[in-house]
Amino acid sequence: MYQVLSAVCAYGGLRPGEAVALRTKDLKLPKKGWGSITVNRSWNGTGRAWGNEEEDIAEPKTIRSLREVPIPPILVEHLSEWIKQQDIKNGPLFATRGGQRPSQSNWNRSLKRACASSGHQTLSPYDLRRTCASHLVDANVMIAEAAARLGHSPEVLIGIYTKRVSGGVERTNQLLNEIYV
């Protein structure tokens, strides 16, 4: 479960609370090609324990209360397989065997173990969202499109994520050479 949750944050750029709140009806998963996730809610309590069933569901922390996030074929495949394996018909996409929401502490432990076994520095669920943002910027996705996928304004995207672009000067010079030559 935590592997698929992590993939949603890494490939879709969702906030952890948005990923935990996903339902099957929020997904468009074609047999081939790109799909999408409709982000329209988030669990309260992100940064604390995910909470219990009595807690309210909030709108996502975004510039709009609804956003459609395109997801790549690899994530479509992961989600389709997850739904099939877990025999999920309707309702929450992620729940423990006892029907509870996944816990933040278990997700963090799972990621820590995965990072350690792969020799990667330890990541948090939110770091996976930052990774997605960095990939969007590194791939030269238009700033407005990258910001929309993440639910940010372009100003927030530029202020937070563009400083993470790798090879800044050399990369910029190479891109400009393609235009100037």
Task: Mean pLDDT check: name the lowest of 5-9, 122-126, 167-171.
Answer: 167-171
pLDDT greater at residue 140 or residue 27:
27
The predicted structure's pLDDT at residue 108 = 92
What is residue 28's three-state secondary structure? strand
Residue 21 confidence (pLDDT) above 80? yes
**Average of pLDDT values for 114-127?**
92
The sign of the torsion formed by the CA atoms of 14, 126, 54, 78 equals positive
The predicted structure's pLDDT at residue 55 = 55
| Termini Cα distance of the chain | 49
Q: Which residues contact 53 (CB under 8 A, 6 or more apart)?
A: none
pLDDT tens digit sequence for 146-170: 999 999 889 988 888 766 556 667 8
Residues 93, 29, 80, CA angle at the centre, nearest 5°?
Answer: 55
pLDDT tens digit sequence for 58-79: 566 665 568 999 999 999 999 9
- Do 19 and 9 form a contact (C-beta atoms < 8 A)? yes
The predicted structure's pLDDT at residue 164 = 56
The predicted structure's pLDDT at residue 93 = 93
Q: How confident is the model at residue 138 (pLDDT cuts 50, 70, 90)?
A: confident
Pick the CATH number of 2-180 from 3.30.390.30, 3.40.50.620, 1.10.443.10, 3.40.640.10: 1.10.443.10
The predicted structure's pLDDT at residue 44 = 66
